[in-house]
Amino acid sequence: MHMARLNVAVVGTGAVGEAMLAVLAERHFPVAEIKVLATSRSAGKKVFFAGQEVTVQETTPASFAGVHLALFAGGDASKEFAGEAVRHGAVVIDNSSTFRLDPDVPLVVPEVNPEAVRGHHGIIANPNCSTIQMVVALKPLYDAAGLRRVVVSTYQAISGAGSDAIAELLEQIRAALEGREAQPAVLPQRIAFNLFPHIDVFLPDGSTKEEMKMVNETHKIMGADIPVTATCVRVPVVNGHAEAVNVETEKKLAAAEAREILRRAPGIVIQDDPAAGLYPMPFTASGRDEVFVGRIREDNTVANGLNLWVVADNLRKGAATNAVQIAEVLREYGML
């Protein structure tokens, strides 16, 4: 079936914006015309899309004239311009946290709740990177056996904090190897040969905003008040988030059953042969669009406990790929 080509705007030229351009091209999304928009600081910069050079333009309300699909890469731009894009007739898929918990805005992971896109009023929110990969792994288990409780500890890569944070990690490693002191400027603490349990800001109850995102967004995406508790940790890995996920199911699942359920689930690759040294790692997940799951084993300290190790590329499945997949769902439903 021949689908019309679409005028697409990508707003943001950081790590996620770059990944969005790469994913649109790789997945052969039917782009008629691409616009790359950013702040006045980045205007005039050249980026590449499908082998063609594109000049970055400053975002203004008029930028969205004739745009069918606007992908916002995160940051403050969506607060200012998402409404303008919708007024010009575009569908917005937003990677910032601005609209995620807005009851009028669907929060979508295509493997989990694609139908939710039908309720959009111009804006669809892309969840937080750490939430996306977790719910892709939780959904099949929830459908098969229910979920009583989820405890997650994350090992989150530096790319989640942006391109400047990656540069800071590399500079700090260089400094450490040369015996120099390196002060953190982008991240809250030194990250080279270190890690810290501090992602986003601390809230009055002692949790961080990142930890609460995992709780609240999981409830919204899964459409169920599953008890979730999270500890989110920044680690000195350039790209790819890892998560140790402990679940208690309502119904008993043996590890082998859980492995089979996850193997058949969309968007998941099982890497679970520890004897052969096979388990998910950020290094091997980086550059891939799937969610990798391994170390699936029973937790015998509770009645129906399972442990999983879940890894994904946070710039791709955790951001850019998920956004493009949402656009693909919209096209499939004839909504673009």
Which residue, among 167, 249, 241, has the nearest Cα to 210 in the 3D structure?
241
Helix (H) / strand (E) containing 295: strand 291-299
Cα separation, 122 vs 20, in Å, equals: 19
Q: Where are the alpha helices (DSSP H) in 60-203?
A: 77-87, 129-145, 163-177
Q: Of 68, 120, 129, 232, which residue is the catalytic one?
A: 129
Q: CA 84, CA 11: separation in Å to the nearest integer?
A: 13
User: Distance between CA atoms of 245 and 243, rounded to whole angstroms?
Assistant: 6
**Backbone angle region of 28, left / alpha / beta, with phi > 0 → left and psi within -120 to 50 → alpha:** left
**What distance in Å separates the CA atoms of residue 17 and residue 212, rounded to the nearest whole number?**
25
Residue 241 annotated in active site: yes
**Known catalytic residue at 129:** yes
Catalytic residue, chosen from 68, 120, 232, 241, is 241
Q: What residues act catalytically?
A: 129, 241
